[in-house]
Chain A
């Protein structure tokens, strides 16, 4: 419960702070968990957490506050139900460095733009599969930026990452999707 607030006051705060962002909370939870049913559980639990902590909201950015709680809850849910999803991002970065050493880096192949036309006619299932295949650490940044439209500093707030890390993960996430499309089409 909010500190020093009555239940009625908590409910009013909840209606003003959390409820306007329920749709976005559900979209983020859907992308993080990979399906609607699990997303419902995550959002409901996140809302209960938000309600209990409503008095601690600093009053600056309700959207980022709500999404931070949703992300935390999704991570807890994944740790319990799909622990293999929670892998240290260093593992992926190490893997990418190895790949770069082997093929000379993805950027070496960026000389023409056949993918531009390819992406424009990309079908939904392939796009969704490419996003789902992203490691969670990259997927969340991509979702928050390209689907929810958060600014880098907001993503940094939600994920508690430095802005520079947000920028590098976003670039890697996008590159992985473009590579996946190219690989699939080859």
Chain B
């Protein structure tokens, strides 16, 4: 397996990667290009690395930013209003408040006038934010 004629010094191998990545200055690139042309092992290294780069670019699905993360971050730094899902307790409390306010205002409108003796005390129930009078028959 080991063969001196095919062995690539580590430094040369690294330079092949830098050559492929366009990271060498022009003079250095010419020198490394000549080395690659003269060495089948370096040429193979170059081709394999080129193929790997292409595979990485073409085969891997992008890791796209989830939209909710962007919103969360913008809210965290105060760039937008933080929206939070209401809890059940908060929902229940707001419904209770709506009942009380709605019921209270309906009662204020429909309450018997002072001194109205004909008004019959009634059972009252709350329903959908309104007071309903139920007269016994």
Contacts of B41 in A (CB 8 A): 107, 110-111
Residue B126 is within 8 A (CB to CB) of chain A in the complex: no
Q: Quick check: which of B27-35, B68-76, B90-98, B114-122 contacts chain A, the rest being far away? A: B68-76
Dominant secondary structure of chain B at its interface with chain A: helix
User: In the bound complex, do residue A145 and residue B54 qualify as a contact, i.e. CB atoms below 8 Å apart?
Assistant: no
Dominant secondary structure of chain A at its interface with chain B: helix
Contact digits for B27-49, partner A, Cβ 8 Å, 1 yes 0 no: 00000000000001100110111
* Residue of A with least CB distance to B16: A171
Complex Cα spacing A93 to B64, Å: 33
A7, A40, A115: the one contacting B51 at CB < 8 Å is A115
Residue A128 is within 8 A (CB to CB) of chain B in the complex: yes
Interface residues of A in 122-165 (CB under 8 A from B): 122-124, 127-128, 145-147, 151-152
Residue A72 is within 8 A (CB to CB) of chain B in the complex: no
Residue B26 is within 8 A (CB to CB) of chain A in the complex: no
Residue A83 is within 8 A (CB to CB) of chain B in the complex: no
Complex Cα spacing A73 to B6, Å: 43
Given A43-B73, A107-B45, A119:B54 Cβ within 8 A: yes
B16, B21, B62, B73: the one contacting A152 at CB < 8 Å is B21
User: In the bound complex, do residue A110 and residue B73 qualify as a contact, i.e. CB atoms below 8 Å apart?
Assistant: no
Residue B2 is within 8 A (CB to CB) of chain A in the complex: yes
Complex Cα spacing A51 to B78, Å: 10
User: In the bound complex, do residue B77 and residue A48 qualify as a contact, i.e. CB atoms below 8 Å apart?
Assistant: yes
Complex Cα spacing A110 to B66, Å: 41
User: How many chain A residues touch B (Cβ–Cβ < 8 Å)?
Assistant: 53
Contacts of B66 in A (CB 8 A): 26, 36, 40
Residue A70 is within 8 A (CB to CB) of chain B in the complex: no
User: In the bound complex, do residue B51 and residue A120 qualify as a contact, i.e. CB atoms below 8 Å apart?
Assistant: yes
Complex Cα spacing A103 to B66, Å: 45
A30, A51, A152: the one contacting B63 at CB < 8 Å is A30
Contacts of B8 in A (CB 8 A): 107, 110
Complex Cα spacing A183 to B73, Å: 42
Distance between A57 CB and nearest chain B CB, rounded to angstroms = 14
Given A11-B77, A14-B79, A47-B76, A127:B60 Cβ within 8 A: yes
Residue A56 is within 8 A (CB to CB) of chain B in the complex: no
Distance between B62 CB and nearest chain A CB, rounded to angstroms = 7
Contacts of A123 in B (CB 8 A): 59
A108, A116, A152: the one contacting B23 at CB < 8 Å is A152
Contacts of B44 in A (CB 8 A): 110-113
User: In the bound complex, do residue A31 and residue B23 qualify as a contact, i.e. CB atoms below 8 Å apart?
Assistant: no
Residue B81 is within 8 A (CB to CB) of chain A in the complex: no
Contacts of B23 in A (CB 8 A): 151-152, 167
Q: What 4 A-B pairs are tightest by C-beta distance, nearest first? A: A104-B2, A107-B8, A27-B63, A119-B51
Chosen A-B contacts, 8 in total, with CB atoms closer than 8 Å, are A19-B74, A26-B65, A26-B66, A113-B44, A113-B48, A119-B54, A127-B56, A151-B23
